[in-house]
Structure 1
């Protein structure tokens, strides 16, 4: 990559990081484009060279977050608990090694409550609901095998994924917090009576 292209990409990342920090701390409505430019240590003109508006910048952050939400359960041939353990380990590793990823969880949660988002972004955000739904057959398989506790599979899925969401959000707000062991969250699902 040419030095100029590399500099442009670094500036773009700095804008995204600065905007994410402000959206998390101040909220979307209270964050002004001038705040983002100041946090990124650049002029508003230069910022507008990268993003046409605060809305476009916010939408780009949501798109990035939605890409991260797309979990592939192609490895669902594994033991069901191992599928959930691997997912929790991946997310906790990402959150503990990249502080921005924890902040993405906060942004994505907040974005789900905005009425003004374009339809395509609302559709992307519904991936979180699909993740819960995609987990149900894996939980049911684990229940049949006796490794996942009895109970409503959808409720168990909600408990698992919302625990991960809550942990990531807490770490975003308190970055010095140690990341829990993935097994602690997996134990929500685990049948301990076998």
Structure 2
């Protein structure tokens, strides 16, 4: 029986996911310049011809990965500008980040890849757009923190400095996980927001007490 259009689309998406995963791993491990198309195809478990059906060049593949990352940042920025409780929004985001860093490598690789993209200086990197979206994310995060402070949920402090600190921690954890590999231990979720929430110290104390008992 011939395959349906839906089946072909599922196969196409599955192949692209394999390519994305393999490319991210190699770009992070070896760098963009040192990674070959053949290595990407081999790690993805496909022929180099099939890879070229999806991407004409390595630069095109790299650019699509960066665009995927930028879309993710844009969604976070949009989420932080909704009308939900600041603490609820932050909890939702931190929970997703914590799970992704603890259980997989995709977020870790994407964060490192974006850093490489910003500093590579290559023509295939939209550095200006990356900087603009990053600035927008910091502003929306600072505004959310300020709103939480006004509601009495968040600690006092400069909202922009707190936003920079938070994302620096996330970036640092991603890079430490890449370096430490199996010896990396993901900090608890309450620890990631202890600097931000007024009631987080009590939660951390309770968790530490349970761990020691």
TM-score normalised by the chain length of structure 1: 0.84
Q: CA deviation at 1:125?
A: 5.3
Match of 1:185 in 2: 192
User: Over residues 103-122 of structure 1, what are the superposed CA-to-partner deviations in whole Å (9 max), with x where a residue is unaligned?
Assistant: 11111121121222457564
Match of 1:64 in 2: 68
Q: What are the within-5 Å matches in structure 2 for residues 12-23 of structure 1? A: 12-23=16-27
Name the structure where helix makes up a greater proportion of residues: 2
**CA distance 1:124–1:85, shift in 2 (3 Å):** same
Root-mean-square deviation over aligned CA pairs: 2.5
Q: CA deviation at 1:188?
A: 1.5
1:46 aligns with 2:53: no
Match of 1:155 in 2: 161
- Kept in 2, the 8 Å contact 1:147–1:190? The answer is yes
Match of 2:204 in 1: none
Cα distance in 1 for partners of 2:32, 2:147 equals 41
- Kept in 2, the 8 Å contact 1:102–1:169? The answer is yes
The count of residues paired between Structure 1 and Structure 2 equals 192
Match of 1:123 in 2: 129
Task: Note the residue ranges of structure 1 that are not aligned, 5 or more in a row.
Answer: none
TM-score normalised by the chain length of structure 2: 0.77
Deviates more, 1:151-160 or 1:83-92: 83-92
Match of 1:168 in 2: 174
- Higher-RCO chain (CA-CA 8 Å, sequence separation at least 6): 1
User: Over residues 58-86 of structure 1, what are the superposed CA-to-partner deviations in whole Å (9 max), with x where a residue is unaligned?
Assistant: 011111112222211244431x3333222
- The structure with the larger Rg is 2
Task: Note the residue ranges of structure 2 that are not aligned, 5 or more in a row.
Answer: 202-213
Q: CA deviation at 1:173?
A: 4.2
Cα distance in 1 for partners of 2:125, 2:19 equals 25
Cα distance in 2 for partners of 1:101, 1:119 equals 19
Q: What are the within-5 Å matches in structure 2 for residues 65-80 of structure 1? A: 65-70=69-74, 71=76, 72-78=79-85, 80=86
Q: 1:95 aligns with which of 101, 107, 120?
A: 101
SS at match of 2:170: helix
Cα distance in 2 for partners of 1:42, 1:83 equals 40
- Kept in 2, the 8 Å contact 1:18–1:40? The answer is yes
- Kept in 1, the 8 Å contact 2:117–2:125? The answer is no
- Kept in 1, the 8 Å contact 2:41–2:51? The answer is yes
